[in-house]
Amino acid sequence: MSQGNIGVVLPDYQLATERVADEGKVYELIIIGGGPAGLTAGVYAARKRMDVLLLTQDIGGQVMLTGEIENYMGYERITGEELIARFKEQLSHQEITVQEESRVASITRGGKVFIAYTDEGYSYRARTVIIASGKRSRPLDVPGEERLVGRGVSYCAVCDAPLFAGRDVAVVGGGNSGLTAAIDLIKIANKVYVVSAHSSLPGDPVLVEQVEQTPQVDIFVFCDVQEVLGRERVTGIRIRSRQEEEERTLPVQGVFVEKGFLPNSELAQDIVKLSEDHEIIIDLGCRTSVPGIFAAGDVTTVPEKQIIISAGEGAKAALSAYNYLITTS
């Protein structure tokens, strides 16, 4: 039996570079996003022989930030990079135009077609659209944060933890992603501070126990980060206790922001209905509030955000778009 796929080197499959996005034509479907939802939608739509344009900032989405994956069926263990290489391989066999490094800013309706406008100044037309733009980390929104991104401020412990070997770091957020980040960092960093705005760590008890029992970890609950300190690189964070209204500085060289996620739904906010959490509201067929526009994966109200769920939702959205096309003149 295979013990997983770790270490398998796959070729970098090219996604039909000979096909170029065409501003002059009306596609049957535009897919926005190249994560598990968008790539799976691409395979399903191409197999229905739909004329598809996939617009995306990158290929892989959040999966490229993931170290090892142990819950995608068919692979006991696989790295995010390898899984996306497999997705790309599968998509490379299909007739589909893929435009990478393309960020859709907005979507409008013009008669019977939808128009997707990109930040790069292009506009593309299609009879149906699938929005699969995923989600991103929620920022701290404090002074110093933006300036020091990549200079000690990180949103991905899996990616950046090794850069902080022997250093002192803070993890902001005491939910499961914060605690998982702290557990990863314990193995690498010298000292780990966990800062949570809640009165106790809100993550799963088994993770909380593991973090609490590690002597290398100091926990600050009921505290907000006020500022990330440092000129060229992070030198600390200023935190404020909600209870005692006291401030203190934690001398750290790294800050891992683990405060949850925001859906990448801004491109759709003027055309489809969003939930209070800014997720695109969909029904069981991935239909949005606008006939002809579908949505899939982490950007939607689908419960649970996982690779296998996004892939399944992408498949459903493509089949719904196909059914819409054959039943609508």
Ligand X SMILES: Cc1cc2nc3c(=O)[nH]c(=O)nc-3n(C[C@H](O)[C@H](O)[C@H](O)COP(=O)(O)OP(=O)(O)OC[C@H]3O[C@@H](n4cnc5c(N)ncnc54)[C@H](O)[C@@H]3O)c2cc1C
- Please say if 160 is a catalytic residue: yes
- The helix (run of H) or strand (run of E) holding residue 155 is none
Tell me which of 15, 29, 30, 32 binds ligand X, using CB under 6 A: 32
**Closer CB to ligand X, 57 or 253, in the complex:** 57
| Per-residue H/E/C for 212-272 | HCCCCEEEECCEEEEEEECCCCCCEEEEEECCCCCEEEECCCEEEECCCEEECCHHHCCCC
- Please say if 224 is a catalytic residue: no
- Please say if 22 is a catalytic residue: no
Size of the site for ligand X (CB under 6 A): 35
Q: Verify binding: residue 297, ligand X, rule CB under 6 A.
A: yes
Under a CB-based contact definition with an 8 Å cutoff, are residues 37 and 311 in contact? yes
Under a CB-based contact definition with an 8 Å cutoff, are residues 286 and 164 in contact? no
Q: Verify binding: residue 178, ligand X, rule CB under 6 A.
A: no
Q: How far is the CB of 140 from ligand X (least distance, A)?
A: 17
Tell me which of 45, 46, 57, 272 binds ligand X, using CB under 6 A: 57
Binding region for ligand X (CB under 6 A) out of 12-20, 53-61, 162-170, 275-283: 53-61
Q: How many helices (H) and strands (E) does the chain have?
A: 6, 19
Q: Verify binding: residue 79, ligand X, rule CB under 6 A.
A: no
Out of 51, 159, 218, 224, the active site residue is: 159
Tell me which of 26, 142, 149, 156 binds ligand X, using CB under 6 A: 156
Q: State in Å, rounded, how far the first CA of the chain is from the last one.
A: 51
Q: Verify binding: residue 158, ligand X, rule CB under 6 A.
A: yes
Of 113, 98, 84, nearest in space to 33 by CA: 98
Binding region for ligand X (CB under 6 A) out of 3-11, 49-57, 146-154, 284-292: 49-57
- Give the dihedral sign, CA 22/23/29/34: positive
Q: Verify binding: residue 61, ligand X, rule CB under 6 A.
A: yes
Tell me which of 5, 15, 34, 114 binds ligand X, using CB under 6 A: 34
Q: Verify binding: residue 77, ligand X, rule CB under 6 A.
A: no
Distance of alpha carbon 146 from alpha carbon 166, whole angstroms = 24
Distance of alpha carbon 328 from alpha carbon 14, whole angstroms = 34
Find all residues with CB under 8 Å of 257, minimum gap 6, and list them.
137, 138, 139, 140, 145, 153, 154, 155, 172, 173
Tell me which of 27, 29, 31, 36 binds ligand X, using CB under 6 A: 36
Q: How far is the CB of 84 from ligand X (least distance, A)?
A: 9
Tell me which of 10, 16, 26, 65 binds ligand X, using CB under 6 A: 65
| Per-residue H/E/C for 67-113 | CEECCCCCCCCEEHHHHHHHHHHHHHCCCCEEECCCCEEEEEEECCE
**Closer CB to ligand X, 145 or 298, in the complex:** 298
* Residues found near ligand X in the complex (CB under 6 A): 32-38, 55-58, 61-63, 65-66, 69, 71, 103-104, 132-135, 156, 158, 264, 267, 297-298, 305-308, 310
Which residues are catalytic, by number?
Answer: 156, 159-160
